[in-house]
């Protein structure tokens, strides 16, 4: 157990082992400190060096953990300033009234694979796409946005946007990976409309739209690292949301 003395308070962090994602373990502990108020809104997180020391991990792990916290809207990093807590609760909203526990488990398992595969797909798409790929991605994003304007869930259009990115990698195995799931790879494809809170769903889909636009912008500019981060932010936020449903089901 590592202690951090700050402003008269002592925060305790557990050094992480080698099981599971080290970055996720770090992110969860920092998130807990933020959501419980141990680290307040407007307060800065410890420096990278201090966090490496506290958790016993590398800079790469700490940076990935901070990226996960940024995906949730909890923190913001500015050059020369550091990482500041922006809110005390994740920005996503639970938009379904009920989800079958088996469906939640399936969704989380698929999202774990997507986090591994699609972050790389976005990176390769940024490097390798041609004009035809760009047109396909832009058309699929436009179709997604039009479906939202019609008040639809845009499950098929969401799938086709991600499929277009996999095609832009020029690696047929990325496309095959994605095609095997069809639109069931989209988490909300497992939900029925009657289970959805419309207002919360609209807010959720608006964030999906914004994240899609961030991903496409990074790919268009051929910024591989930014494309990877944008895709990770998009998928990790979804993963975190469905983790909350799993916890909710467990304690009902």
User: What pLDDT is attached to residue 97?
Assistant: 66
User: What pLDDT is attached to residue 251?
Assistant: 43
Counting the structural domains of the chain, the total is 2
- The mean pLDDT values, 10 residues at a time, for the chain of 252 residues are 49 58 83 86 91 90 86 83 84 66 87 94 98 98 95 92 97 92 80 70 87 97 96 91 71 45
Q: Do residues 163 and 212 both lie within one domain?
A: yes
User: What pLDDT is attached to residue 89?
Assistant: 73
Among 206, 188, 194, which Cα is nearest to 92's?
A: 206
| Residue 95, in any domain of the structure | no
User: What pLDDT is attached to residue 194?
Assistant: 63
User: What pLDDT is attached to residue 247?
Assistant: 67
Whose tokens are 């994003």? That residue is 141
Q: State which of 85, 109, 127 marks the end of a domain.
A: 85
Q: Do residues 81 and 6 both lie within one domain?
A: yes
Among 139, 116, 96, 158, which Cα is nearest to 24's?
A: 116
Q: Do residues 81 and 108 both lie within one domain?
A: no
Q: Do residues 18 and 58 both lie within one domain?
A: yes
| Residue 8, in any domain of the structure | yes
Q: Do residues 144 and 188 both lie within one domain?
A: yes
Q: State which of 31, 59, 85 marks the end of a domain.
A: 85
Is 9:19 a contact under the CB 8 Å cutoff? no
Q: Do residues 116 and 229 both lie within one domain?
A: yes
State how far the Cα of 90 lies from the Cα of 87, in Å rounded to an integer: 7
| Residue 92, in any domain of the structure | no
Q: What is the pTM of this model?
A: 0.68
Burial 110-124 (b: 16+ CB within 10 A, else e): bbeebbebbbbbbbb
Say what angle helices 155-168 and 131-149 make with each other, to 10 degrees: 170
User: What pLDDT is attached to residue 242?
Assistant: 85
Among 13, 184, 93, 156, which Cα is nearest to 5's?
A: 13
User: What pLDDT is attached to residue 180?
Assistant: 87
Q: Do residues 129 and 210 both lie within one domain?
A: yes
User: What pLDDT is attached to residue 37?
Assistant: 85
Is 174:166 a contact under the CB 8 Å cutoff? yes
| Structure token pair of residue 37 | 């108020």
| Residue 93, in any domain of the structure | no
Q: State which of 28, 58, 85 marks the end of a domain.
A: 85
Which CATH number is 11's domain given? Answer: 1.10.10.10
SS3 (DSSP) at 176: helix
Q: Do residues 75 and 145 both lie within one domain?
A: no
Burial 161-187 (b: 16+ CB within 10 A, else e): bbbbbbbbbebeebbebbeebeeebbb
Domain range holding 26?
2-85
User: What pLDDT is attached to residue 219?
Assistant: 98
| Residue 241, in any domain of the structure | yes
Q: Do residues 210 and 139 both lie within one domain?
A: yes
| Residue 131, in any domain of the structure | yes
| Residue 96, in any domain of the structure | no
Which CATH number is 135's domain given? Answer: 1.20.120.530
User: What pLDDT is attached to residue 139?
Assistant: 98
Q: Do residues 242 and 119 both lie within one domain?
A: yes
Q: Do residues 78 and 138 both lie within one domain?
A: no
Q: Do residues 10 and 115 both lie within one domain?
A: no
Q: How far is CA 239 from the centre of its chain?
A: 6
| Structure token pair of residue 24 | 């996720």
| Residue 91, in any domain of the structure | no
């Amino acid at each position: 157990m590592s202690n951090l003395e700050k402003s008269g308070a002592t925060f305790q962090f557990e050094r992480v082992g080698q099981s599971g994602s080290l970055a996720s373990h770090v992110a969860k502990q920092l998130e807990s400190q933020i959501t419980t108020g141990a680290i307040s809104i407007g307060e800065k997180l410890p420096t990278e060096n201090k966090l490496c020391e506290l958790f016993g991990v590398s800079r790469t792990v700490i940076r990935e953990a901070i990226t996960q916290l940024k995906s949730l809207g909890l923190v913001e990093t500015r050059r020369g300033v550091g990482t500041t807590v922006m809110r005390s609760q994740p920005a996503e909203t639970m938009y379904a009234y009920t989800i079958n526990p088996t469906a939640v488990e399936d969704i989380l398992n698929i999202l774990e694979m997507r986090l591994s595969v699609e972050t790389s797909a976005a990176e390769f798409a940024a490097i390798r796409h041609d004009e035809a790929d760009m047109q396909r991605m832009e058309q699929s994003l436009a179709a997604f946005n039009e479906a939202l304007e019609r008040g639809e869930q845009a499950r098929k259009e969401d799938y086709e946007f991600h499929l277009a990115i996999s095609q832009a990698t020029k690696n047929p195995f990325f496309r095959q990976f994605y095609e095997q799931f069809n639109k069931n790879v989209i988490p909300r494809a497992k939900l029925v409309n009657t289970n959805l809170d419309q207002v919360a769903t609209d807010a959720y889909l608006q964030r999906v739209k914004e994240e899609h636009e961030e991903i496409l912008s990074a790919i268009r500019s051929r910024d591989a690292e930014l494309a990877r981060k944008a895709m990770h932010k998009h998928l990790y936020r979804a993963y975190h949301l469905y983790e909350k449903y799993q916890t909710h089901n467990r304690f009902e």
